[in-house]
Structure 1
Amino acid sequence: MDVRVFPTKEQMGRAAAQDIGKALRLRLSSQSHVRVVFAAAPSQSTMLSALRQEPGIDWSRVTAFHMDEYLGLSQDAPQRFGNWLMHEFFHHVPLGQVHLMNPGVRPEDACAEYERLLAPEPIDIVLLGIGTNGHLAFNDPPADLKDTRLVKRVTLDAACREQQVFDECFPSLEAVPQEAMTMTTPALLRAKEIFGCVPGEHKSAAVQAMLEEPVSGACPATALRTHPHCTVYLDFASASRSRLSERF
């Protein structure tokens, strides 16, 4: 894992966007199209804002997916990750295709349909964060790092739901849905390249675990260390509990 640390989340986001933009341009120079999975969370906002401004990207040849979605929210709920991504990014660039997760009233069927969309070709790039409990997408610990599925229905743990309140996505814990659909950890790790943005002191314990604990489902983010092309961007606050803090 290539880990890069910056003084502020704004500097972190700009640096990540520059690297992601370079990766997109490079792939588009040799491929007819590129498939990208996006995370939806406030931790990604500075990167996405900067990525919208990256020059020389033919967005019409980019197909966008996202990695998870709540169950039980109305179609127009601003907390739905698809809606958040449309507002933050998808409406701002002329993407070729956008595949939104839509759990509907039959989430298992929705998971199977999203698997059908993901399976035929490799995912080129995944843009992700990690949760305060070390989750990737909505794969809360203990996560199955050998899951054979690409997308599945999950029940969210308390720490995951509390993070949504801390991030001011919901007014109270009671308002946070208890279930979601998510890409699995192995599905995310199938990507050719992974870029992760993880700012904030509230992520510092998860960052420490990601970097220093054994690779296991107890901290799903540790699995990123097994990927051959994964770059993680931190700010001083998120890196503060890890050995990386000795650098600053």
Structure 2
Amino acid sequence: MTTIEATVGELSVRLLPDEPALGSAAARGAAEAIGAAVAANGSARVVIATGNSQYAFVEALAEEDIDWSVVTVFHMDEYIGIDDDHPASFQRWIRERIEQRFHPARVEYIGGRGDPQAEADRYEALLRSAPIDLVCMGIGENGHLAFNEPGAADFTDQRWARVITLTEESQRQQVGEGHFASMDVVPKTAISLTIPALLSAGRVQVCAPESRKAKAVHETLTAEISNACPATILRACGNAVLFLEPRSAELLDGVFDRAEV
């Protein structure tokens, strides 16, 4: 199978032969975006998602020639009330898989302890202090982006970071992925980057592997653009690329008939 490409709305969609190929394609795109930012500005600012959907992408980043010494890394969300060494902490995910491996110039962490609103305000100020060059994210099983949940996501939010409440479906996803033992111990709230913050980047990359994401991917590309499925807003984002593989694209009959590379 070769790479197959399509455009849905303004969104570029690429179907790769398998998950490792998806990760490699996304890593090449990230390296290009970071390299362009460094060439233009001498540095780059990158937001990187955490979670199982990012594993292949992060592994492939190690194969790319990136000058991490001039890259500042942000992440997308953190649970309220957990420490940075908790097994499910997104701070820990970024620390172990990005900071300790690639040694970027700086990593800006969202803290899960203390006053959540004050932390959201602090992080928003950091995000707004200079342009974001690249956002690398996934799609939740219920179509969320970061923790912007169905029915609550605001496509015109004036905030760039806010306190949110997780839906039960998002909580179940965290249990299903093995991050928590049961629903009872999944935090109910988190600090999350908003949709406008995520889509402000010069380049937006979305990795969505695995069959459990197939329904959300189908809705992302076919449903009406609305916060019923927050990821549908990607179809209005001309600087975004969605990377899929056969399992996550299994419900997309006809979408990839337009072009093959």
Answer yes or no: same fold by TM over 0.5.
Answer: yes
- 1:3-82, aligned counterparts within 5 Å? 3-55=13-65, 57-82=66-91
| Contact 1:239/1:245, CA 8 A, preserved across alignment | no
**How far did residue 245 of structure 1 move?**
6.7
Report the counterpart of residue 204 of structure 1 in structure 2. Answer: 214
Q: Structure 1: any 5+ residue segments left out of the alignment? A: none
**How far did residue 27 of structure 1 move?**
2.0
Distance 1:110 1:33, change over 3 A: same
**How far did residue 244 of structure 1 move?**
5.0
| Contact 1:49/1:89, CA 8 A, preserved across alignment | no
Report the counterpart of residue 109 of structure 1 in structure 2. Answer: 118
How many pairs were matched up? 247
Give the letter for the 1:82 counterpart.
Q
Report the counterpart of residue 127 of structure 1 in structure 2. Answer: 136
TM-score (norm 1): 0.96
Q: Are residues 1:140 and 2:141 paired?
A: no
Provide the C-alpha distance between the structure 2 equivalents of 1:73 and 1:244, rounded to a whole number of angstroms: 44
Provide the C-alpha distance between the structure 2 equivalents of 1:114 and 1:244, rounded to a whole number of angstroms: 42
Provide the C-alpha distance between the structure 1 equivalents of 2:245 and 2:95, rounded to a whole number of angstroms: 26
Q: Structure 2: any 5+ residue segments left out of the alignment? A: 1-10
**How far did residue 52 of structure 1 move?**
2.2
| Contact 2:84/2:91, CA 8 A, preserved across alignment | no
CA distances 1:76-105 after superposition (whole Å, capped 9, x unpaired)? 102110101111122111211110000322
Report the counterpart of residue 174 of structure 1 in structure 2. Answer: 184
Q: Which aligned segments of 4 or more residues in structure 1 are displaced greater than 6 angstroms?
A: none
Other structure's SS at 2:41 match: coil
Give the letter for the 2:222 counterpart.
E
Other structure's SS at 1:112 match: helix
| Contact 2:82/2:112, CA 8 A, preserved across alignment | no
Q: Are residues 1:118 and 2:127 paired?
A: yes
Equivalent residue in structure 2 for 1:239, among 225, 230, 249: 249
Give the letter for the 1:33 counterpart.
S
CA distances 1:137-189 after superposition (whole Å, capped 9, x unpaired)? 00011111111111000110011111111111112111211110000111111
Report the counterpart of residue 85 of structure 1 in structure 2. Answer: 94
Give the letter for the 2:160 counterpart.
L
Q: CA RMSD in A?
A: 1.4
TM-score (norm 2): 0.91
| Contact 1:18/1:54, CA 8 A, preserved across alignment | yes
